[in-house]
Each structure stands twice: as C-alpha cells, then as structure tokens.
C-alpha cells in the first residue's frame, strides 16, 4: 500500500525556499499537481520550477494571501488550469519579531494579518471551491512551537500562531459536514535539506535577518533575554527537515487520513513531549537518515553545508 495524491491538486501558500517549497516538492512527489504561491513572484516561480524540474506539474501563483482579490484570482487560475482543488497548505507567515516591550503596532498588525487573513481567506475560498465541486479535501495550517509554548522576542508570532491553533479546530467543525478536513502541523526549527533550496536561500538573502535594536537604543531598564538551544534539546538528537514534514503532510492529505480532522502534528524527535526541566544527554538516536523524495536527489543539511 502506498500513499498517493495522484489526481489531486494542491495550493501551497508562501512556497518560498524553505518549508513551503519542501512541502510543494513532497506533494508533487506523491502525485499531486501543485500551485506555488508567494508574495515574492520570483520565489513562487522558483518553487514551481523546482517541482517541474523533477517531472512534476506545477503552476506559479504569486499573490498576497491577505488580499482577497489576489486569493480569488489565484484560486480561479488553479481552477481554470486544472479544474479542481483538493489540498490547501496555509504556510505563508512572517517569522521573527520582537518582544512585547519593543514591538510596534504596525509590525504586530501586519504579522497577525498575514496569519489571520491569509489562513481565513485561503481556507474559506479554498473550501468553497472544494464544496462546489463535491471534493472532500484537506486543509493544513502551518503553526509553530510558538502556538503551544511561550518564547521571548516573538509577541506577534506567538499571538497569531496560538490563535491559529483554535482556528484550525473551529474550521474543522465548520467543514466537517462537507467532508473537508482541517489540521495543523507545527514545525520545530527544521533543518533545510534540499541543496537547491539551500542555494536559493543563500543567493537571495531570504529570510531577511531579524531586526535587532542598535546598541544603546534600548532604555536603561532593559533586561536581556535568555538563550535558545534548538538543536541540543531534542531527545532523539536530530532536527527534522522540510522533507520529513512533506512526507507527513502528504499522508495527512491522502485518503488514508479520511477521518483525521482538528488535529495538530509535529516531527520533533520528542522535543515537545519532553518534561521542561529535562536536558537530553549526549547519547542520542545516532544516524536516522531522512527518506528522500523520488527524483529530488541527495539531501544535505544546511547546518552541515555552512
Ligand atoms: N523555519 C522555522 O524554523 C519554522 C519553525 C516553526 C514554524 N515555522 C512556520 O513554517 C512556515 C514556513 O516557514 P519558513 O521558515 O519556510 O518561512 P520563510 O520565511 O522561508 O517562508 C515564508 C514565505 O511566505 C512568504 N510570504 C510572506 N508573506 C506573504 C504574503 N502576505 N502572501 C504570500 N506569501 C507571503 C514569504 O515571501 C516567504 O517566501 C511558516 O508558517 C512559519 O511560521 C517555521
């Protein structure tokens, strides 16, 4: 028995050179036609070109996920091109941010709007396209650990990822009578593993570096935050990759998952299950090779490549 998305059509928002492009490649490797959206036209085109280069069928559908006319327009393009829509991956997001003490209202509101309007419009208009064609599709919102746990320095991100966690459950209830499933996936700082994606990230300088306050700009009462260790706190000792995420999402969007709705998934080597005070030792799972996608070629870890 094999997972197959043959005959299905997928839309991936924010399909730039990291998780979104990895998911687009995976959905294609499992047989779906894939429409790659991004507000950066060149990123949408590069993502679609990567799918086609390995023999898949893709369409670049640039547009801003917060703009209703853009979303209507690219869903219409997908329907005109392929006649259906089965899968929507709400991946576009603005990462990074600032603490509650430093964030400004404009940046906070924009980050929240990309998540809120983006997930709302693509879920609503994608679901209507499915319902009108009698398609029992699958919608997946990409969340984050910040949907479930508090971290410093990302107040807008924490707000909108946490909100999306219950958006998914509520949309799952709204769409259950139509057989449309709504789930979420929570990445945990995955390690990019596709050499072409790694090269595009390096070549375009995307993602843009986090905004940091210049030295001396902070008030005298400012207190420094603690530190993060996103690689050392994984019980299995290995970070996931966009390819791992793609395998899971392909299954989630397949007919095998016909009754899976309102759920969140993660691939984190046990990080989220871990008791907060526990620090894993240096003995870990050892090599646990990622299973490559057909036709994508050898995988490389970004951290090893640098
Ligand atoms: N990378 C991580 O470590 C990590 C960890 C946890 C969760 N996530 C989540 O995974 C998803 C993908 O993350 P990533 O690291 O690949 O991010 P990324 O920044 O590399 O890609 C996001 C893409 O979204 C696009 N985008 C931004 N605003 C848009 C808009 N209004 N309309 C259309 N496209 C827009 C960007 O141009 C970019 O290409 C996001 O939802 C992110 O929050 C990432």
Question: For 225-246, what is each residue's pLDDT tens digit?
Answer: 999 999 999 999 999 999 999 9
Residue 141 Cβ inside 6 Å of ligand 1? The answer reads no
Give, for ligand 1, the residue of 11, 12, 14 to mutate: max count of ligand atoms closer than 8 Å to Cβ: 14
CA 184 to chain CA mean position, Å: 9
Mean pLDDT for the stretch of residues 291-301: 76
Residue 93 Cβ inside 6 Å of ligand 1? The answer reads yes
- Whole-number Cα distances in Å, 157 to 136, 163, 248: 31, 10, 24
Ranking 179-183, 265-269, 302-306 by mean pLDDT, the lowest is: 302-306
pLDDT(306) > 70: no
Q: Give the model's confidence band at 301: pLDDT under 50 very low, under 70 low, under 90 confident, else very high.
A: low
Mean pLDDT for the stretch of residues 56-81: 98
Residue 123 Cβ inside 6 Å of ligand 1? The answer reads no
- In ligand 1, which atom is closest to the CA atom of 146? 6
pLDDT(286) > 90: no
Whole-number average pLDDT of the chain: 94
- pLDDT on residue 203: 83
Residue 38 Cβ inside 6 Å of ligand 1? The answer reads yes
pLDDT(126) > 80: yes
pTM for the model: 0.96
Q: What share of the chain is helix, strand, coil (3-state, %, to 5)?
A: 40, 10, 50
Distance in Å, CA 126 to ligand 1 centroid: 19
Domain ranges of the chain: 9-208+223-287+295-305
- pLDDT on residue 202: 85
Residue 84 Cβ inside 6 Å of ligand 1? The answer reads no
What share of the chain in percent tops pLDDT 70? 95
Instruction: Give the closest residue to 234 by CA, choosing from 192, 172, 174, 283.
Output: 283
pLDDT(305) > 60: no
Q: 188 with 272: CB under 8 angstroms?
A: yes
Q: Which tokens belong to 169?
A: 């459950």
Residue 119 Cβ inside 6 Å of ligand 1? The answer reads no
Instruction: Output the residue whose Cα is nearest ligand 1's atom 4.
Output: 189
Instruction: Output the residue whose Cα is nearest ligand 1's atom 1.
Output: 189
- pLDDT on residue 209: 64
Residue 20 Cβ inside 6 Å of ligand 1? The answer reads yes
Q: 265 vs 192, which has greater pLDDT?
A: 265
Distance in Å, CA 5 to ligand 1 centroid: 24
Sign of CA dihedral 67, 71, 74, 77: negative
Task: Name residues whose C-beta falls within 8 Å of residue 218's C-beta, 6 or more positions apart in sequence.
Answer: 102
Ranking 52-66, 68-82, 152-166, 206-220 by mean pLDDT, the lowest is: 206-220
pLDDT(58) > 60: yes
Which CATH architecture group holds 9-208+223-287+295-305? 3-Layer(aba) Sandwich (3.40)
Segment 241-273, tens digit of pLDDT: 999 999 999 999 999 999 999 999 999 999 999
Distance in Å, CA 14 to ligand 1 centroid: 6
Mean pLDDT for the stretch of residues 143-149: 98
- Whole-number Cα distances in Å, 51 to 6, 26, 28, 170, 286: 15, 9, 7, 33, 31
Mean pLDDT for the stretch of residues 31-56: 97
Mean pLDDT for the stretch of residues 183-194: 95
Residue 137 Cβ inside 6 Å of ligand 1? The answer reads no
pLDDT(168) > 90: yes
pLDDT(205) > 70: yes
Residue 62 Cβ inside 6 Å of ligand 1? The answer reads no
């Amino acid at each position: 028995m094999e997972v197959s998305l043959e005959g299905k059509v997928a839309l991936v928002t924010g399909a730039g050179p990291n998780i979104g492009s990895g998911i687009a490649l995976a959905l294609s490797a499992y047989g779906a036609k894939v429409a790659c959206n991004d507000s950066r036209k060149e990123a949408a085109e590069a993502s679609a070109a990567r799918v086609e280069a390995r023999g898949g069928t893709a369409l670049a559908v640039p547009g801003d996920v917060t703009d209703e006319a853009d979303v209507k327009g690219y869903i219409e393009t997908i329907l005109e091109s392929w006649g259906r829509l089965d899968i929507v991956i709400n991946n576009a997001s603005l990462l990074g941010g600032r603490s509650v003490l430093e964030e400004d209202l404009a940046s906070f509101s924009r980050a929240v709007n990309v998540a809120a309007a983006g997930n709302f419009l693509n879920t609503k208009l994608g679901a209507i396209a499915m319902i009108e064609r009698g398609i029992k599709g699958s919608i997946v919102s990409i969340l984050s650990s910040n949907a479930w746990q508090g971290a410093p320095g990302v107040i807008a991100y924490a707000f909108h990822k946490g909100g999306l966690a219950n958006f998914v459950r509520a949309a799952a209830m709204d769409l259950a009578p139509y057989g449309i499933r709504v789930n979420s996936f929570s990445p945990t700082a995955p390690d990019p593993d596709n050499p072409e994606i790694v090269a595009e990230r390096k070549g375009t300088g995307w993602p843009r570096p986090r905004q940091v306050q210049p030295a001396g700009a902070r008030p005298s009462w400012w207190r420094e935050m603690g530190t993060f260790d996103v690689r050392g706190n994984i019980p299995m000792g290995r970070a996931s990759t966009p390819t791992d995420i793609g395998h899971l999402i392909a299954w989630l969007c397949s007919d095998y998952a016909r009754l899976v709705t309102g759920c969140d998934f993660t691939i984190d080597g046990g990080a989220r299950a871990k008791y907060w005070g526990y620090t894993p030792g240096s003995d870990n799972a050892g090599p646990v090779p990622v299973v490559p996608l057909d036709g994508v070629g050898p995988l490389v870890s970004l951290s090893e490549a640098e």
